[in-house]
């Protein structure tokens, strides 16, 4: 019972923080996912150090340099949206990212006695797997005025709509997959990675997530988002969100841990909460960029 109340309380706090950051204004949205991306990247590198102990021996310049580069990348994706006087945050971010991504490998080659190209690869993988997806999510939010939400109008929906829908669709998919799997699940779905997942549950969750998006989009949501966008975004969240969840589960199994972190009592770490978003966000960005932006 104590565990139940702990999980419920932490979940309520999590939802409140998420909604506040997403809905308040563009800067709070950026700050929210900047922090999530920062701590999720640290958790990823912790998993890498458990998977390959050689990575635990990287010098301090490498360890902190890659984190500074990640911060620069996320800042760079804000473009011209934030500025103090004539200083544009996105411009500073690009320079920070480029400088550290160039200087860090050179510094390690010159200063480290045990230079390993493999360790550079682990660090680069973290940027691709964690930092870039959150950066693309921020980019979607901050470029909302350029998105064609409906066939007739441009910018008729709030900028936070698409990122929030991705989160909601992922939640619907996960919840429905659990319910369907509990009721009729028989066929294991990647048992070596996630023994409790079933094929019936996973497929059922995807179908019901898209169906829920279609029903809401048809009856209430067409003034904000064209129906095809509701369906496609739900499909992206369901399919790639499921793959993202399996991928993070595989990393944890390789590292020999149950959770990626302990930031949320009873719910694990940042990677555990946002693993589905890490693959869904890039594909959502591709769809938005090529099919919804003029």
- DSSP secondary structure string for all residues of 54-78: GGGG--HHHHHHHHHHHHHHHHHTT
Specify the pLDDT at position 152: 56
The residue-averaged pLDDT of 260-285 equals 87
pTM of the model: 0.93
Residue 264 domain boundaries = 146-294
Residue 265: pLDDT over 70: no
The residue-averaged pLDDT of 99-125 equals 81
Residues 274 and 130 reside in one and the same domain: no
Enumerate helices (H) and strands (E) in the chain, giving the number of each: 10, 2
The residue-averaged pLDDT of 84-113 equals 84
**Nearest alpha-carbon partner for 141 in 286, 285, 291:** 285
In a domain, 273, yes or no: yes
pLDDT over 90 percentage in the chain: 63
In a domain, 217, yes or no: yes
Over the stretch 187-220, which tens digit does the pLDDT of each residue have?
888 888 888 889 999 999 999 999 999 999 999 8
The residue-averaged pLDDT of 112-139 equals 91
Total number of domains constituting the chain: 2
Return the half-sphere exposure (C-beta side, CA atoms, 13 A cut-off) of residue 154: 8
Specify the pLDDT at position 58: 86
How far apart, in whole angstroms, are the C-alpha atoms of residue 166 and residue 288? 12
Residues 76 and 181 reside in one and the same domain: no
Asked if 69 and 124 count as a contact pair (C-beta separation under 8 A), the reply is no
Residues 151 and 175 reside in one and the same domain: yes
Specify the pLDDT at position 154: 47
| Contacts of residue 100, Cβ cutoff 8 Å, sequence gap at least 6 | 65, 66, 68, 69, 72
Specify the pLDDT at position 158: 82
Terminal Cα distance for the chain, rounded: 53
Residues 168 and 287 reside in one and the same domain: yes
Residues 168 and 102 reside in one and the same domain: no
Residues 179 and 287 reside in one and the same domain: yes
Residue 266: pLDDT over 80: no
The residue-averaged pLDDT of 212-240 equals 94
Of 102, 125, 142, which residue is a domain's last?
Answer: 142
The mean pLDDT value of the chain amounts to 89
The residue-averaged pLDDT of 164-178 equals 95
Of 96, 117, 142, which residue is a domain's last?
Answer: 142
Q: Give the alpha-carbon dihedral of 172, 35, 260, 58, to 10 degrees.
A: 150
Of 80, 113, 142, which residue is a domain's last?
Answer: 142
Residues 245 and 174 reside in one and the same domain: yes
Residues 156 and 271 reside in one and the same domain: yes
Q: What is the band of 294 on the pLDDT scale with cuts at 50, 70, 90?
A: low
Over the stretch 27-48, which tens digit does the pLDDT of each residue have?
999 999 999 999 999 999 999 9
């Amino acid at each position: 019972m104590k565990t139940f109340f702990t999980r419920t309380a932490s979940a309520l706090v999590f939802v409140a923080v998420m909604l506040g950051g997403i809905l308040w204004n563009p800067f709070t949205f950026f700050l929210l996912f900047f922090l999530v991306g920062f701590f999720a990247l640290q958790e990823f590198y912790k998993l890498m150090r458990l998977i390959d102990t050689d990575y635990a021996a990287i010098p301090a310049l490498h360890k902190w340099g890659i984190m500074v580069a990640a911060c620069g990348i996320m800042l760079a994706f804000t473009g011209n949206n934030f500025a103090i006087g004539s200083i544009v945050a996105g411009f500073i971010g690009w320079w920070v990212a480029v400088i550290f991504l160039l200087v860090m490998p050179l510094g390690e080659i010159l200063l480290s006695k045990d230079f390993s190209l493999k360790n550079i690869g682990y660090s680069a993988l973290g940027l691709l797997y964690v930092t870039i997806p959150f950066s693309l999510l921020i980019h979607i939010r901050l470029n909302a005025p350029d998105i064609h939400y409906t066939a007739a109008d441009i910018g008729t929906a709030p900028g936070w709509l698409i990122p929030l829908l991705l989160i909601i669709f992922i939640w619907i998919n996960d919840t429905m997959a659990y319910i369907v799997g509990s009721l009729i699940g028989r066929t294991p779905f990647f048992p070596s990675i996630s023994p409790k997942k079933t094929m019936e549950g996973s497929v059922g969750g995807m179908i019901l997530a898209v169906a829920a998006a279609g029903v809401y989009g048809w009856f209430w949501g067409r003034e904000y988002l064209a129906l095809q966008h509701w369906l496609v975004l739900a499909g992206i969240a369901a399919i790639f969100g499921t793959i993202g969840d399996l991928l993070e589960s595989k990393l944890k199994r390789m590292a020999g841990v149950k959770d990626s972190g302990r930031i949320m009592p009873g719910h694990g770490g940042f990677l555990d909460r946002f693993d589905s978003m890490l693959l869904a966000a890039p594909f959502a960005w591709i769809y938005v960029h090529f099919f919804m932006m003029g």
